[in-house]
Amino acid sequence: MTNMTTGTPAVPASDRPQGAPVLEARGLTKHFRVRSRAVRGKARFRGIVHACEDVNLTLEAGRVTAVVGESGCGKTTLARMLARLVKPTRGEILLDGKPVPHGKLHEYRHRVQIVFQDPFASLNPIHSVRYHISRPLRIHHRARRNAEVNAAVEALLSRVKLDPPGQFADKLPHELSGGQRQRVAIARALAAGPTVLLADEPVSMLDVSIRLGVLNLLGELRDIEGLAILYVTHDIASARYFADTMTVMYAGRVVESGPSLEVTAHPAHPYTQLLLDAAPDPERAGPHVIEAKGSAPSLVTPPSGCRFHPRCPHAMPVCAEQQPPDISVGEGHVAACWLRHADYTYATDSPTPAGK
């Protein structure tokens, strides 16, 4: 969240005492270079994928922050940059308010751990559950002797509700269901003793009936152990259910952020409105309120100005020219949309604009 007038990072709303910032992203940007091979003498095409552009995000202790967006919006790139699996092109990461030094990955990983989307791919099929969890324990010197390690493994397995732990510790990944594997992946992340957990679509590969169980487990880790959790998802309903604050991304940029109930009840950015409108919703009261044209843009040649303007039913000339500033639309609720700017008239009381 940047302050629109000065461009300096704004302090997150301070109405949450337990919400001490732990991990912060400031202006994180990632450009991937792509090229294609020459075909019959045609020129080599070189391009830059603008995957993530100038993203500010704060993860607070004891809070879940959701990053919501469609595929290709840069949400996973953001999580990977925060996990330092991908080096940002620009911008910096602050841990406990201090810039993260180069290298020193070992120390960083002790504090910040990631859980990947696919528990069928993120566990090594030839290693037992015990091995998966004991590696980080040893690497981060949290347990040395075998007895210590085994006790710690069992404690971690009960923390992720794999009871009785003795029964699970010596199983191989293929003997576990998807939900159980994801719990092992979470236990492995916890083994390093992190204060920040980055969860990249942790439940999207799981069956519907067991998703909530895994989300509730992460919720408990937040409430009881005060972990700061990043929840990356495409499912805005689960983000509303699980996250305290929500950041909506579109085509590599943050378009809206704020308390998750507030964002879903009063979406300020037309893209957030579209996302909510398109989500399956048996309780939907009326017809759809927003019709968007086309599909998400190419990130090699992103649209000028606001990246949503070619699809936006409310687009104005300024939207094609200038990137909209972050404008406060409520307590801790920020939207990057010209419609909310004081220079342009807009009925701010209606959550969903009528007409065009």
Q: What angle do the packed helices 146-159 and 178-191 form, to 10 degrees?
A: 130
Nearer to another protein, 306 or 327 (CB): 306
Least Å distance between CB 235 and another protein?
8
Placement of tokens 């067991």 in the chain: 210
How many H-runs (helices) and E-runs (strands) does the chain carry?
11, 12
Nearer to another protein, 10 or 210 (CB): 210
Residues 6+ apart with CB under 8 A from 354: 289
State how beta strands 333-335 and 253-259 pair. Answer: antiparallel
Nearer to another protein, 56 or 238 (CB): 238
Please give the Cα distance from 228 to 197 (Å, whole number). Answer: 6
Nearer to another protein, 28 or 185 (CB): 185
Residues 6+ apart with CB under 8 A from 214: 179, 182, 183, 186, 202, 203, 206
Least Å distance between CB 276 and another protein?
6
Least Å distance between CB 182 and another protein?
11
- Provide the binding-site residues for another protein, judged by CB under 8 A: 70-71, 177-180, 207-213, 216, 234, 236-238, 240-242, 261, 264, 274-284, 286-288, 291-296, 298, 310-311
Q: Which stretch of DSSP H or E encloses residue 180?
A: helix 178-191
Least Å distance between CB 267 and another protein?
11
From residue 178, give the alpha-carbon distance in Å to each of 98, 131, 156, 191. Answer: 37, 18, 18, 20
Least Å distance between CB 223 and another protein?
11
Nearer to another protein, 47 or 310 (CB): 310
Least Å distance between CB 298 and another protein?
6
Nearer to another protein, 56 or 273 (CB): 273
